[in-house]
């Protein structure tokens, strides 16, 4: 038996196609054994499989090319945008969030992160940085990130993928995110996550909220900041963050770049 599955590819955290963080949204009900295979075929940071269960409400599963995630940021924004303008309640394994979508993009609520300072031994070496100002494990929505504040420029990093994977596994994070303050309203971040089958993620919405909260605590940055990410790999992302505990929001532009069918 042949099945046809409609899909759309959208670019999140950008106001133009072929920039930002690309996402594949599969629009038709997909057999579970096929989900991971489609994510490997597409080979983007994430592929989503939403199912609308009521007016303004859907359940969703999220896959990287190698693992299933309980929650993620740019898949939440991009999927709601594809499903249509309005306010959506999104359910994933790790969190239930509200996503508001309009013609230009989307913004979502985020659970408050739990931030724990952890041992930073080996972190600077793994990233190729001259030094770091600590390392913090940020947990929210069933997912964990290792945030690494630093005053060193991030543009020319040459991380060691094996060392990055080893240090993130040791400290319990999914990926390693060095962060630098540019000014009170702008942060520069990169996100390396070889353990999920993604060497470098262009724009990490699930980490952006914790990054904004940590930056306020460490550097006194504004409640509303823009996180710059992805420029170094040709996929510039601009992530808008409202970093207020109890009211964390993350958003950005979304544009459409492709659509078609899987024939399986």
Which residues participate in catalysis according to the annotation? 46
Cα(140)–Cα(113) distance, integer angstroms: 5
Is residue 86 left, alpha or beta, with left meaning phi > 0 and alpha meaning psi from -120 to 50? left
Cα(135)–Cα(226) distance, integer angstroms: 21
Cα(126)–Cα(162) distance, integer angstroms: 8
Cα-based torsion angle of the residue sequence 250, 168, 178, 17 in order, rounded to the nearest 10 degrees: -50
DSSP state of 8: E
Question: Exposed, middle or buried by CB within 10 Å (0-12, 13-18, 19+), for 131?
Answer: exposed
User: What is the separation of C-alpha 118 from the centre of its chain, rounded to a whole number of angstroms?
Assistant: 22
Cα(193)–Cα(10) distance, integer angstroms: 21
User: What would the DSSP string read from start to end of 140-180?
Assistant: ETTEEEEEEE-SS--TT----HHHHHHHHHHHT-SSEEEEE
Cα(253)–Cα(41) distance, integer angstroms: 26
Cα(73)–Cα(76) distance, integer angstroms: 5
Cα(20)–Cα(236) distance, integer angstroms: 5
């Amino acid at each position: 038996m042949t099945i046809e599955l409609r899909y759309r590819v959208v670019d999140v955290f950008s106001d133009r196609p072929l920039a930002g963080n690309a996402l594949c949204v599969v629009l038709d009900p997909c057999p579970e054994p096929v989900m991971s295979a489609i994510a490997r075929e597409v080979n983007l940071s994430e592929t989503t499989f939403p199912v609308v269960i009521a007016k303004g409400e859907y359940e969703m599963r999220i896959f990287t090319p190698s693992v299933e995630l309980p929650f993620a940021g740019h898949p939440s924004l991009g999927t709601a945008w594809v499903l249509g303008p309005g306010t959506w309640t999104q359910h994933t394994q790790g969190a239930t969030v509200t996503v508001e979508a309009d013609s230009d993009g989307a913004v979502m609520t985020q659970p408050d992160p739990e931030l724990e300072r952890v041992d930073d031994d080996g972190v600077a070496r793994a990233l190729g940085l001259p030094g770091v100002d600590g390392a913090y494990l940020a947990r929210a929505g069933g997912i964990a990130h290792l945030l690494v504040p630093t005053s060193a420029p991030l543009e020319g990093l040459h991380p060691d993928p094996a060392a990055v994977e080893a240090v993130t596994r040791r400290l319990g994070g999914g990926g390693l995110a060095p962060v630098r303050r540019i000014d009170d309203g702008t942060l520069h971040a990169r996100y390396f996550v070889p353990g999920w089958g993604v060497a470098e993620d262009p724009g990490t919405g699930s980490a952006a909220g914790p990054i904004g909260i940590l930056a306020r605590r460490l550097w006194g940055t504004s409640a509303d900041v823009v996180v710059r990410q992805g420029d170094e790999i040709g996929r510039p992302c601009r992530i808008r963050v409202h970093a207020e505990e109890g009211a964390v929001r993350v958003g950005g532009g979304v544009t459409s770049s492709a659509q078609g069918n899987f024939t399986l």
